[in-house]
Structure 1
Amino acid sequence: MRFVVYGAGAVGGVIAARLHLGGEDVQVVARGEHLSTIREDGLRLVTADGESVARVPAAGRLADLDVGSDSAVVVAVKSHQTAGVMHDVARSTPPDVTLVSAQNGVANEAVLARGRAHVVGMVVMLPASHLEPGVVVQGSSNVPGLLDVGRYPGGTSERAEAVAAGLRGGGFDSVVRPDIMAWKHRKLMMNLGNAAGAACAPGPERDRLVDLAVEEGEAVLAAAGIPVVSRARDDERRGDLLDTSRMRERGGGSTWQSLRRGTGDVEVDYLNGEVSLLGRLHGVPTPVNDLLRDAAWRLAATRAEPGSLSAADLLEELEL
């Protein structure tokens, strides 16, 4: 199987570089200065042990790459950008191409499946960052990431097995799971803290906001009857496989990085907003996730620095 990584940012860039270093056939879709730097100098992967350069074909759209029926397009953009990716997919890929959602949130697979029949979901456990054009940072110094995959909406397939095999060749730990969306819903619960982590400085008040957001998330999943793996099972899967003790400074998570780069947008509609949606559909109040979603959007819209809101003030606003 050949790979096209659509969105060579933090997660996509590390995946692309590791696949290339593992001997896989890899192309990337990127944009702006990041794209031009990759074309000129290659994609630079920074790890705790040093640096490597992956010289991979790069373009701003799929039409300028070689994408065939034997290709897996690994979609690694933010969730609010997925519809735009599908416009490109519809124009420039064969009907039997494989699409892989290497994304947070649980709404992307359905968007991909509207356009193509073969969709693979992925749970992304990959500490990474991208703050400089042409450069991605791998945060874990032993296994670079845990990237479990599975056929959407459920079950296994030869395509999922082929994707997992390629990822393992790149050094990742990858297991094929028939209940991949139950695992992705557990990851969603973990990502509910992204907005607070991006908007507020560390401290007990921020921790309280995250705990409250997760409590709401667990409540809406239960009300909706959505299968989700337990925290204990997720903890067991992670174990001590990801070693970030030697991690170079990367700032915060994906939402923090979006604010830091001043992109003007964040994907919280598909994280905290997913909880808000389920709450409205099933009659469960979600004031914490509503507030965190709006707070993150305000910071993004004004190009404010991450950590510039007071968690204590947000907690007070909730009480009022």
Structure 2
Amino acid sequence: MERLKHVISARQFDDPEFLLGLFESANAMDRDDKFRALTDPLRGRILATLFYEPSTRTRFSFEAAMQKLGGGVLTAENMRESSSATKGETIADTVRIVSGYADAIAIRHFEQGTAAEAARISPVPIINAGDGVGEHPTQALTDVYTIKKELGRLSGLRVALVGDLLNGRTIHSLLPLLCLYKDVQFDLISPWQLRLPLKHREYLLEKHATFRESEKLGSEVLEQADVLYITRVQKERFASAEEYESVKDAYILDAAMANRLKPEAIIMHALPRVNEISPEVDDNARAAYFRQAKNGLYIRMALLKYLLA
């Protein structure tokens, strides 16, 4: 795989061997962090985190990752309301300015394509931390890393993706990564209004991936899934409260449903959750979503080291 300067789309990661190396690096970061044996390969480097949408896990994990590697952070958690954007400054101008202060920029924006626009003019690496309903590539890397850690394999999986597949940028980025591996089958479960967009279904067909679509999260799906990936219905993407209310409770995973999964299956969620996974599921050994969130720290450490060391 050609060396990356920017990280904009999961489709850039088209080499399973590269992913294996990134996962090994993340494992090393995890191990060294536990034993307080981390070095400072990014000492003197600075990461700017420009977030035009709310974030907890992504922003904190990027900032913690940079600091654990010995670097520094410039952060703006509410760029939409507390930066020069309120005065009309364009993304292009913001990136030109910030790139003079930082060695890399992680950007989250409410408009799809913003990270790609920033990358076209930035002299420093741009990392897409979520662009509207577009992609979230570092979350997808975290997700695949989590599956590998939990199940020990990435081939021969049955993966059920449940919820808001229309707006779920984590799903849009996860699909191309899982398509790199053999015999991965997908169950796409959503209300018809939140169906996976056509371009992503066409991508699955192009890759000869096996997938089924349904509005029902039934026994067949639960009992066959190796990975049950639940997504939040994204209230902020709806045109009206009425539209959101009509689908927000479409799927709620409770303890009884979780226990119908295979013992070795895992339950994933990029978080935050609203009500789509009952808190009673948290104590189930299959519930991997909090471990998944922690894994994001080490994946982002490995990625920052790759880009900047």
Q: TM-score, normalised by structure 2?
A: 0.32
Greater relative contact order: 1 or 2 (C-alpha under 8 angstroms, separation 6 or more)? 2
